[in-house]
Amino acid sequence: MHPAAKTIVIGAGISGVSSAIWLQRAGHEVLLIDKAAPGMGASYGNAGLLAQWAFIPVTTPGLLRTAAKYLPDPKSPLFMQWRYLPRMLPWLRQFIGNANDTDTRRIVENLKPLVTDALDQHRSLVKGSAAQKWIAESSFSFAYKDRSAFDADSYGWNLRHEAGQTPEIIEGPAVREEEPILGPRINLLAVLKGHGHILNPGRYVAELAEVFQQAGGRFVTAEVQDFDLTNGKITAVETNHGRFDCDHAILAAGIWSKPLMKKLGLKVPLEAERGYHIIYKNPSQLPRNPMMIAAGKFAVNPMETGLRCAGLVEFGGIKAGPSRAPIALLRHKTREVFPDLRYDSTEEWLGFRPSTPDSLPLIGEIRNTGIYTAFGHQHVGLTAGPKTGRLVADLITDRRPNIDLSAYSPNRYC
């Protein structure tokens, strides 16, 4: 009998925990490391959507024109901390360079395999465990002011139609029959059936980590500082609480993966899209299903903890604290679309979406080091986390993944 292979997973968000569980099921001895408790990073504060429709990147044709309109407008869903702009210009140039039809379609084709089966992937991950109670099946609605606003999004809807996602359109008074919480500003819903959402993302990931530990996995709270390589192969991970030997390592620490990649010779152009949420506690109303408020670019999700409104984009790095303007806009837009909503209190949150300029995550082995990546998912981290974990586990256990992973290779940044 050969001893079980030892794998260290760095990062206890949805991608890291999923990787740990799939490797554990494959017979590996797995150590999960994070500087905080499981599920307390971006996995805690996301919109909680299993967004099987979210394969269209921000970088669609016309992005520059849209950004030029949004940035000067304090009521737009895009914010910039201008003192940070010089630092992110190289990333922005690459990001905007993908805002054309050819690159958009390339990105779409590479995102679809990661997100379009998300509900099934999450169910497979939690099957037979206590964590399955956090997954809810639901429809998903895009809420528009009117038909002209819906038509203005025709580029994205055409791409969804090509992928087999054609919405049911509900207009006029029928909108409030479908979703009584909505006020008169919303007069069209584009409804997609057969989707899902998570009732408490932070608790969901934390419970998955408990499932992992109950099955014999180990979790350590520590900050990773470096990697030990012998003849180019990983042999150990150095932390502020000691050295841990391993045969493989998986880097799944979201935006915090960037400085660790530098130690491996990869300068990854990873930027944080700062996202916000507000939870309205003990709300007087809840939507029947999650929805996207198109004009405000934020999602609405009925959760165990209340009504979560989450989204917006702010560029400004990871060091600055929360800005008041995005939260104020989120509150204002929520009042507009839910004029009769009452609640006891609110909770605000800021998190960091790890975003690459080509909108594709890093999934694969760094050269032949035995170190694998599972981060950079931008807006679809929760959605794609279980699939990402399964793919990385397949690579480590020499199983052939059923999709081409070349587009996600971390070596594109060597």
Q: What is the pLDDT of residue 140?
A: 98
| Beta pairing partners, 226 | 238
Contacts of 53 by beta carbon, 8 Å cutoff, 6+ apart: 115, 140, 160, 165, 192, 195
Mean pLDDT over the full length of the chain: 95
Place of tokens 């000691």: 242
**Cα separations (Å) of 103 from 95, 108, 135, 328, 378?**
11, 8, 33, 34, 17
pLDDT tens digits along 111-140: 999 999 999 999 999 999 999 999 999 999
Q: What is the pLDDT of residue 265?
A: 86
Residues 260/264/266/272 CA torsion (nearest 10 deg): -10
Place of tokens 């959402």: 197
pLDDT tens digits along 301-312: 999 999 999 999
Is the model more confident about 342 or about 65? 342
Average pLDDT over residues 47-53: 96
Answer whether residue 107 shows pLDDT above 90.
Answer: yes
Average pLDDT over residues 378-383: 96
Q: What is the pLDDT of residue 41?
A: 85
Q: What is the pLDDT of residue 2?
A: 53
Across 61-65, 159-163, 209-213, least confident range = 61-65
CA–CA gap between residue 383 and residue 228 (Å, rounded): 32
Q: What is the pLDDT of residue 67?
A: 86
Across 39-43, 288-292, 382-386, least confident range = 39-43
Average pLDDT over residues 172-187: 97
pLDDT band with cut points at 50, 70 and 90 for residue 5: confident
Answer whether residue 12 shows pLDDT above 60.
Answer: yes
Question: CA angle, corner 178, sides to 176 and 179, nearest 5?
Answer: 60
* Burial class (CB within 10 angstroms; exposed 0-12, middle 13-18, buried 19+) of 256: buried
Answer whether residue 1 shows pLDDT above 70.
Answer: no
Instruction: Say if residues 67 and 297 touch (Cβ distance below 8 Å).
Output: no
Average pLDDT over residues 146-154: 97
CA–CA gap between residue 154 and residue 151 (Å, rounded): 5
pTM of the entire predicted model: 0.95
Instruction: Say if residues 6 and 245 touch (Cβ distance below 8 Å).
Output: yes
Assigned CATH topology for domain 54-108+133-199+270-355: D-Amino Acid Oxidase; Chain A, domain 2 (3.30.9)
CATH superfamily placement of domain 6-43+203-267+360-413:
FAD/NAD(P)-binding domain (3.50.50.60)
Phi (first) and psi of residue 360, to 5 degrees: -115, 140
* Burial class (CB within 10 angstroms; exposed 0-12, middle 13-18, buried 19+) of 22: buried
Beta strands 6-10; 135-144: pairing state:
unpaired
Amino acid residing at 101: D
Asked if domains 6-43+203-267+360-413 and 54-108+133-199+270-355 share a fold, the reply is no
Contacts of 240 by beta carbon, 8 Å cutoff, 6+ apart: 222, 223, 225
Answer whether residue 317 shows pLDDT above 80.
Answer: yes
Residue spans per domain, the chain: 6-43+203-267+360-413, 54-108+133-199+270-355
pLDDT tens digits along 240-295: 999 999 999 999 999 999 999 999 988 999 999 999 999 999 999 999 999 999 99
pLDDT tens digits along 205-242: 999 999 999 999 999 999 999 999 999 999 999 999 99
